[in-house]
């Protein structure tokens, strides 16, 4: 296994809609294993394939450090089929290091997907799991955390980020 490079804002790959996975071969299994290792090394609770430069509808999530009822989840070609309620939660993102924002999300979601071997699965997510599922699925749609905040906050983020980039070069 290998730790992959996590793509950071404003890399273009993060804004592209990911393509459906159609082949569940050894290459996909290696990508999944590498994504899991990368997520744990970061450390994070989720990682989507576009964040490691792969335009595949694939994500890994592990919230067990905060809620041990849910072990590692691999979702391939996920779709949110229902959602209810609303919750605000302060989120971070591995592609936006050292930045957090309060985001409104559905409090509960039902996601249909495939597991790492192509078998159909359904996940009922509440609380942190619901937030993580929505966050990672956003990545597969080419959306970032900053796309979920107000335009004023987004402009403030972009200006601050450019200054940080300028000084770190």
Q: What is the dihedral of CA 60, 66, 67, 73, to 10 degrees?
A: 10
Q: Cα–Cα distance between 129 and 135 in angstroms, integer?
A: 10
Task: Provide the β-strand partners of residue 116.
Answer: none
SS3 76: strand
Q: Is 136 a catalytic residue?
A: yes
Q: Is-contact 74 60, C-beta < 8 A? A: yes
Q: Is-contact 73 39, C-beta < 8 A? A: no
Per-residue buried b or exposed e for 68-81, using 16+ beta carbons within 10 Å of the residue's own CB: eebeebbbbbbebe
- Binning pLDDT at 50, 70 and 90, where does residue 165 land? low
Q: What number of residues does the chain have?
A: 169
Q: Cα–Cα distance between 54 and 126 in angstroms, integer?
A: 28
Confidence (pLDDT) at 1: 79
- Catalytic-labelled residue, pool 37, 90, 136, 141: 136
Q: What residue ranges do the domains of the chain occupy?
A: 12-168
* Tens-digit pLDDT profile for residues 93-127: 999 988 899 999 999 999 999 999 999 999 999 99
Domain 12-168 has CATH 3.90.45.10: yes
**Parallel/antiparallel/unpaired status of strands 108-114 and 96-105:** unpaired
CA angle 113, 58, 161 (to 5 degrees): 130
Rg for the chain, CA atoms, rounded: 16
**Parallel/antiparallel/unpaired status of strands 58-61 and 46-48:** antiparallel
pTM of the model: 0.92
Q: Taking phi first (over 0 means left), then psi (-120 to 50 degrees means alpha), and beta for anything else, what does residue 66 get?
A: alpha
User: What percent of the chain has a predicted confidence (pLDDT) above 70?
Assistant: 93
């Amino acid at each position: 296994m290998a730790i992959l490079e996590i793509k950071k804002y404003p890399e273009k790959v993060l804004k592209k809609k990911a393509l459906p996975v159609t082949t569940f071969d050894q290459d996909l299994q290696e990508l999944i294993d590498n994504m899991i290792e990368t997520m744990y090394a970061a450390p994070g609770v989720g990682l989507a394939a576009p964040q490691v430069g792969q335009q595949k509808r694939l994500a890994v999530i592990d919230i067990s450090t905060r809620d041990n009822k849910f072990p590692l989840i691999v979702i391939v070609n996920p779709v949110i089929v229902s959602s209810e309620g609303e919750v605000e939660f302060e989120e971070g993102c591995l592609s936006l290091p050292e930045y957090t924002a309060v985001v409104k999300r559905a409090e509960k979601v039902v996601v249909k997907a495939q597991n790492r071997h192509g078998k159909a699965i359904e996940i009922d997510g509440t609380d942190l799991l619901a937030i993580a599922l929505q966050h990672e699925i956003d990545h597969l749609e080419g959306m970032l955390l900053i796309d979920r905040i107000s335009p004023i906050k987004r402009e403030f983020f972009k200006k601050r980020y450019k200054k940080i980039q300028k000084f770190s070069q």
